[in-house]
């Protein structure tokens, strides 16, 4: 299967990008916008055939500071602007952090590790999210954050690449020839494990629920000492609930424990989720390095963009710029 854009005149670097997940698509679009002749190949049948399809799509650099190194926030504060400029449907209503009454102490702990938030009481929570009125007495509101529907965003990036004259090939063989290309940019995630020292898979599980009786305007993080859970609204009263972080490369089906934890968090947020339809459950293996920081590395004429961990949508724009700098000789 192939989508082709029109050819453009002029001598441009010919770049083969491997992998049509979030890192590959953002990198391919960035390269094409800077003038490269880009071919994107994907062994799966569509964009996001790997972990990117299961992502939450939260664009929350300040919330991520709670558990991530400071450079994650520093390098991702402009990610909302990047996504807003490239795909439709970016929601910039902020993020809300809550905890059930028994775990309210987690709010203070989260606040100590983050910034750029407002402490909100029950009345403020009700103004932000009327359906949550009377259910929580304290929370944190991060007004400068947002979210995007990953599946729609990935498809929009594919279309953007084609509009820029790029080629996108699905169901491509893993050994697709790189002959005739000036550079190769490998964004194949966990599939590159044998070529990248230290790369490992981190299992994540998610649910898609349909609940017509609940309306949310922003992503909500439910804090818990063991497993924080986020609930991200999508169109048509769909909610993505995720995601576990398990040090395992088992890509098998969702475990009962994980499903119970995710469903319980949704129910605690609002009892109407007890009547929600479970539309989908999914498991993905996030690629991660030992320090859980995405990295751009180089081996000959191949540039690797990998180790996105849980920061794929947040840090892909920054890592794509690094890769493009290498391709164009800036770095």
The Cα 322–Cα 310 span in angstroms is 19
178-208 residue pLDDT tens: 999 999 999 999 999 999 999 999 999 999 9
Residues 6+ apart with CB under 8 A from 21: 47, 48, 49, 50, 51, 52, 154, 187, 189, 312
What percent of the chain has pLDDT above 90? 89
Please report the pLDDT score of residue 224 as a whole number: 81
pLDDT at 246: 86
Confidence of residue 160 (pLDDT cuts 50, 70, 90): very high
Q: Which pLDDT score, from 0 to 100, does residue 147 have?
A: 98
Q: What CATH number has the domain spanning 95-143+200-288?
A: 3.30.9.10
DSSP H or E segment with residue 302: strand 302-306
Give the confidence band of 97 by pLDDT, cuts at 50, 70, 90.
very high
Q: Where residue 6 falls among pLDDT bands split at 50, 70, 90? A: very low
Predicted confidence band of residue 7 (pLDDT cuts 50, 70, 90): very low
* d(C-alpha 219, C-alpha 223), whole Å: 13
CATH number of 13-91+147-198+290-330: 3.50.50.60
* pLDDT value of position 226: 74
Contacts of 124-129 with CB under 8 Å at 24 or more apart are: 125/96, 125/98, 128/94, 128/96, 128/217, 128/218, 129/96, 129/216, 129/217, 129/218, 129/220
Examine the pLDDT at 228 and tell me if it is beyond 70: yes
Q: What is the DSSP letter of 24?
A: H
Equal fold, 13-91+147-198+290-330 vs 95-143+200-288: no
Q: Given this model, what pLDDT does residue 9 score?
A: 40
Residue 104 scores a pLDDT above 80: yes
The one-character DSSP state at 6 is P
What integer pLDDT is reported at residue 215 of this predicted model?
A: 98
Nearest to 230 by CA among 58, 54, 59, 48: 58
pLDDT per position as a tens digit, 69-90: 999 999 999 999 999 999 999 9
If you average pLDDT over residues 261-265, what whole number do you get?
A: 93
pTM of the shown model = 0.94
Measured in whole angstroms, the distance separating CA 240 from the mean position of its chain's CA atoms is 12
Least confident of 15-19, 123-127, 250-254: 250-254
Grade residue 227 by pLDDT with cuts at 50, 70 and 90. confident
Span 205-229, average pLDDT: 93
Give the model's pLDDT for residue 331: 60
pLDDT for the residue numbered 74 = 95
Averaged confidence pLDDT in the chain: 94
Average pLDDT over residues 31-56: 96
Residue extents of the structural domains in the chain = 13-91+147-198+290-330, 95-143+200-288
């Amino acid at each position: 299967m192939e989508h082709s854009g029109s050819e453009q005149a002029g001598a441009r670097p010919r770049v083969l990008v491997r992998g049509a997940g979030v890192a590959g698509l953002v990198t391919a679009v960035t390269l094409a916008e800077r003038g490269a002749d880009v071919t994107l190949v994907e062994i799966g049948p569509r964009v996001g055939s790997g972990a990117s399809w299961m992502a939450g799509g939260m664009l929350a650099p300040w919330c991520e500071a709670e558990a991530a190194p400071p450079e994650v926030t520093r390098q991702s504060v402009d990610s909302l602007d990047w996504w807003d400029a490239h795909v439709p449907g970016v929601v910039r209503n902020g993020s809300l952090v809550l905890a059930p009454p028994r775990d309210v102490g987690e709010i203070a702990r989260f606040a100590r590790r983050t910034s750029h938030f407002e402490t909100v009481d029950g009345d403020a929570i009700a103004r932000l999210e009327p359906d949550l009125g009377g259910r929580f007495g304290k929370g944190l509101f991060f007004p400068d954050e947002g979210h995007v529907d990953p599946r729609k965003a990935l498809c929009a990036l594919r279309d953007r690449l084609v509009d820029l004259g790029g080629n996108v090939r699905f169901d491509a063989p893993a050994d697709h020839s790189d002959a005739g290309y000036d550079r190769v940019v490998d964004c194949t995630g966990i599939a590159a494990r044998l070529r990248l020292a230290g790369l490992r898979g981190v299992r994540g599980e998610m649910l898609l629920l349909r609940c017509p009786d609940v309306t949310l305007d922003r992503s909500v993080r439910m804090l818990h000492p063991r497993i924080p859970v986020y609930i991200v609204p999508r169109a048509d009263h769909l909610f993505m609930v995720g995601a576990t972080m398990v040090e395992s490369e088992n890509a098998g089906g969702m475990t009962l424990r994980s499903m119970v934890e995710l469903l319980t968090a949704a129910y605690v947020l609002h009892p109407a989720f007890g009547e929600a339809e479970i539309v989908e459950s999914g498991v993905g293996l996030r690629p991660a390095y030992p320090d859980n920081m995405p990295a751009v590395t180089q081996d000959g004429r191949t540039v690797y963009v990998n180790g996105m961990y849980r920061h794929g949508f947040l840090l892909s724009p920054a890592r794509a710029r690094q890769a493009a700098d290498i391709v164009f000789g800036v770095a």
